[in-house]
Chains A and B, each alone.
Chain A
């Protein structure tokens, strides 16, 4: 151990090179960090880009112009029957399918394909709506725009790769030829897909809609909110403002912290075992979905509520106590109103999570094939994320765009909710 020490010569070439190497390392490290972020960002944009480019066509549909003969005899009804007392019933029993089939067949034969290649299975619904609007149509022959079949829809949106051998694509050469002829005659067009925005699930992609699932989500979330907001806020109040420090309180706290991290599918198992098997509640119903999601969202709201109430300065509580407010009045007059923006922000974020949740709802049967828009809390329903899951499993090519379009709808809802949460947070954020 020599005590003599040579003075470091910082200007020496060795040291200079060393410093340069260290700076190079520094730059590399910094670049790695930026690259990690850029990679994460590009994943996000790739994901959203893929969804958007696949999905925007889901909001459109192709229609074909057909000449339809509203023959009273074929329909089995006439004007007087529609305007009479049982008009609605008469409309529902009228043979619009037959009239549609006749018109489509006539057109299809001239093109050398089958009627079902051209028009959608549900095209006749458009005829019924037209007659409901205007009963005078009966007995006349008019040109009507009706939804095309799924194959024509793909052709109309340019989603068919025409240079692939016929055997490897869903659309035959004859169909392509027929489509091109219609196109040349200006007998096909692309419009907004109102069916998608107003109907429920269907086996054919061109008739499938997202509204059924959206309403199912709405009903489910309504139940969730009604249950977990009051219970969550009251739990937060109790724990933050009143609870004495003891074993019982610790148990509640440990429960809440752990529930917040329990995998969501476990809540599905709970819902299945308790709500369905034990209490015998109906399968696939929004009320059960709402209950299950409420249990899952509860810890989120409790934790957000406690943080919000903790940030209300104790001097406010002292001030209220000092003029003789009771413990309950202090909380309900002062702490709660001041904490409310924070609680609401947490609630919205919790609800957004519940809206995107799929796994627990699969457990309680919300993957049912539901073709009606759900009417109430106990009728079978599905929700947006489950609908996405179901459609993603469909074989028909037309469901790819529907799935992506449904994802876009879900993401729009989520963005609105999170936007609201951020707005609330910024608007009411108080610094003490």
Chain B
């Protein structure tokens, strides 16, 4: 019996248990109309439906956990047993062989393959099939047993004064708590997997080398014996490229445009034009990054190169830092604008009125009162924007190139942390090579830096908001 069929059977069982238990509880209550809640409670504590839920949950949940657990680990157990039962000489030797072998067996069993290429895999098919059937029967039996005993146990507790509702509600509460654990688990999953793989990497390449080396060419560093002496994993050019594109060029575009947009929208624009302009910025924010990347690579980058050539820069690259940075800046404009918008509107109107009442013009008020007052909020917003820009991937993958240059020339090609992660982990991967693992070390640096930026920026913004509340 497949897991899906089993789950459906269990669900059916649970529905039946619900109906039966509810009917029984209703029979206990005897009457159907009650004068008051106290009256009802004295004849049956919880409404019949809660008794039904109680029994159904006991019948369903333990068995369901078993079946779901089996569907996670069952395939592995069946595979182990199958291979163990084969004669030693026909067992696959390496992990890769094993994978191919099992894929063939499963293909034949499911009918996708007419026959296996590997004769020993062909021989393993009936074994696999019988072991799988055996185990499925065992699990189905266990599930039935669990459902019956759980349901039975709950059934025996259905009594007029049994408090079914608080128990059902406690179950709901447990489910709520469990789901809120998912986000913690995700955070831990990120931190642990990044750290684990990074430690593997730092066993091969010294952290000092990685953080301070200026030569990055991972493709040549497959020679494991030369680790630490080749200098191929010096990530400084990547860090520089990331900062150059994300924190410098993009911000030079995004900060003035975003800030001035926010100022115009909050201080000058009439409600009608605001209704048109704000959605326009939202659309700009909603365009997927891959579209920006395509636009940068296809339209902006050639234009930038032509411009560079026309002003006499001969070594201009077609994948320039400038093109990627400018497009990234455009992408960030709505973000900066909305953060600045929030900060400016949070400044109490009294401050603004105070300045205007003295005869200051609107622009003088903005420049000398509003902006200084809103500055912490704006700075926090800009830091969040920087964090977003340095974590942005597709634009730099498509437009910034892969050459790890340590240059401040915006017409040259630089590469970034995110672009390198994509480059390292796509295409042909050598498992556990320093090259693959270095992507996780880069990921760890990226995660740590963006995390610090976010925490700091959020605390700045929060403190600022509280100051005016």
Residues of A with Cβ closer than 8 Å to B? 22-23, 25-26, 29-30, 32-37, 39-41, 43-44, 47, 50-51, 230-231, 234-235, 237-239, 242-243, 251-252, 255-259, 261-267, 269-270, 272-274, 278-279, 295, 298-299, 302, 324, 326-328, 352, 355-359, 362-363, 365, 367, 385-386, 388-389, 392, 400, 403, 407, 410-411, 414, 418
Contacts and interface: CB of A to CB of B under 8 A. Distances in A.
A25 B364 CA distance: 9
Given A362-B426, A392-B398, A22 B175 contact: no
- Minimum-distance CB pairs A-B, first 8: A263-B391, A356-B288, A33-B264, A36-B260, A273-B193, A359-B393, A29-B363, A234-B179
B394 interface: yes
B295 A47 contact: yes
B172 interface: yes
A264 B394 CA distance: 10
A26 B363 contact: yes
Nearest to A358: B290
Contact of A40 (B72, B284, B362, B421): B284
A29 B366 CA distance: 10
A299 B425 contact: no
B393 A263 contact: yes
B257 interface: yes
B392 interface: yes
B280 A269 contact: no
A33 B261 contact: yes
Nearest to A263: B391
B176 interface: yes
B289 interface: yes
B179 A33 contact: no
Nearest to B277: A37
5 contacts: A33-B264, A37-B264, A47-B291, A234-B176, A328-B169
B106 to A, nearest CB: 11
Contacts of A278: 193
Given A269-B440, A363-B425, A299 B183 contact: yes
Contact of B193 (A50, A269, A298, A418): A269
B455 A258 contact: yes
A328 B168 CA distance: 10
A364 B287 CA distance: 23
B406 interface: no
A26 B361 contact: yes
Nearest to B278: A37
Contact of A258 (B72, B175, B451): B451
A265 B189 contact: no
A279 B421 CA distance: 22
Interface stretch (B27-35, B125-133, B149-157, B442-450): B442-450
Given A259-B187, A359-B394, 18 more contacts: A29-B367, A36-B260, A40-B280, A230-B179, A231-B182, A237-B176, A243-B180, A255-B184, A256-B183, A266-B194, A269-B193, A269-B194, A270-B186, A298-B182, A359-B289, A359-B393, A389-B397, A414-B288
Contacts of B257: 36, 39-40
B180 A234 contact: yes
B184 A33 contact: no
Looking at B176, B281, B362, B388, the one whose CB has the most chain A CB atoms below 10 A away is: B176
Contacts of A363: 421-422, 425-426
B256 interface: yes
Contacts of B281: 37, 40
A403 B397 CA distance: 16
B419 to A, nearest CB: 10
Contact of B391 (A33, A230, A266): A266
A22 B190 contact: no
A334 B457 CA distance: 36
Contacts of B181: 252
A388 B169 contact: no
Interface string B192-223: 01101100000000000000000000000000
A269 B268 CA distance: 45
Nearest to A417: B286
B256 A36 contact: yes
A358 B394 contact: yes
A252 B180 contact: yes
B139 interface: no
A25 B361 contact: yes
B298 interface: yes
A37 B390 CA distance: 24
B283 interface: yes
A386 B426 CA distance: 13
Contact of A238 (B177, B267, B422): B177
B357 interface: no
Contact of B418 (A51, A359, A418): A359
B165 interface: yes
A243 to B, nearest CB: 8
A230 B182 CA distance: 12
Contacts of A407: 291, 294
Nearest to A356: B288
A274 B260 contact: no
Contact of B299 (A50, A302, A324): A50
B422 A265 contact: yes
Given A22-B361, A328-B172, A389-B394, A251 B184 contact: yes
B277 A41 contact: yes
B330 interface: yes
Interface string B128-170: 0000000000000000000000000000000000000110010
A359 B397 CA distance: 9
B333 interface: yes
B317 interface: no
Contacts of B267: 33
Given A26-B363, A36-B257, A388 B418 contact: no
A41 B361 CA distance: 27
B378 to A, nearest CB: 15
Contacts of A358: 288-290, 393-394
B365 to A, nearest CB: 10
A44 B283 contact: yes
Contacts of A388: 290-291, 294
A266 B440 CA distance: 9
Interface string B313-342: 000000000000000001001100100000
Given A39-B257, A266-B446, A257 B458 contact: yes
Contacts of B439: 269
B362 A26 contact: yes
Contact of A410 (B291, B388, B447): B291
